[in-house]
Amino acid sequence: MPPDVRDWLPEGHLAWFVIDAVEAMDLSAFYAAYRLDGHGRAAYEPTMMVALLLYAYARGTRSARAIERACEEDVAYRVIAAQQRPDHATVARFVQRHEEALAGLFGAVLELCAEAGLARVGVVAIDGTKIHANASRDATLDYEQIAREILAEARATDAAEDELYGEARGDELPAELATQHGRRGWLRDAQQRLDERRAKEAKPIPRLRPARLKESKRRLEEELSTECQANANYEAYRARGVMKDGRRFGGPPKPHVPPATPAGKINTTDLDARLVKGMRGWLQGYNAQAVTNEDQIVLAAEVMVASPDFGHLEPMVTAAQTELAAAGVTARPETVLADAGYWHQEQMERIVAGGTQVLIPPDSSRRKGNRPGWDGGLYAFMRRVLATDRGGGLYRQRQQLIEPVFAQTKFNRRMERFHRRGRAAARTEWRLITATHNLLKLHKHQTATAAA
Q: Which residues of the chain have pLDDT under 70?
A: 1-2, 38, 205-209, 213, 237-238, 240-254, 365-374
3-state secondary structure (DSSP) of residue 156 = helix
Q: How many helices (H) and strands (E) does the chain have?
A: 17, 8
Span 181-224, pLDDT tens digits = 888 888 888 999 998 888 888 877 666 567 776 777 778 888 87
Q: Determine contact, residues 277/115, Cβ cutoff 8 Å.
A: no
- Cβ(313)–Cβ(348) below 8 Å: yes
Helix, strand and coil percent figures for the chain, each rounded to 5: 55, 10, 35
The radius of gyration of the chain from alpha carbons, rounded to an integer in Å, stands at: 33
Q: How far is CA 21 from CA 109, 112, 323, 324, 435, in A?
A: 8, 8, 18, 18, 12
**What's the rounded Cα separation, in Å, for the pair 258 and 362?**
41
Distance CA 295, CA 119 (A): 8
Pairing of β 335-337 and β 357-359: parallel
* Dihedral angle computed from the Cα positions of residues 321, 326, 328 and 333, in that order, rounded to the nearest 10 degrees: -10
Which residues is 278 bridged to in the sheet?
281
End-to-end CA distance of the chain: 32
Secondary structure class of 349 (helix, strand, coil): helix
Task: Please give the pLDDT value at position 71.
Answer: 95
Q: How far apart are CA 107 and CA 153, in angstroms?
A: 47
Q: What is the pLDDT of residue 206?
A: 65
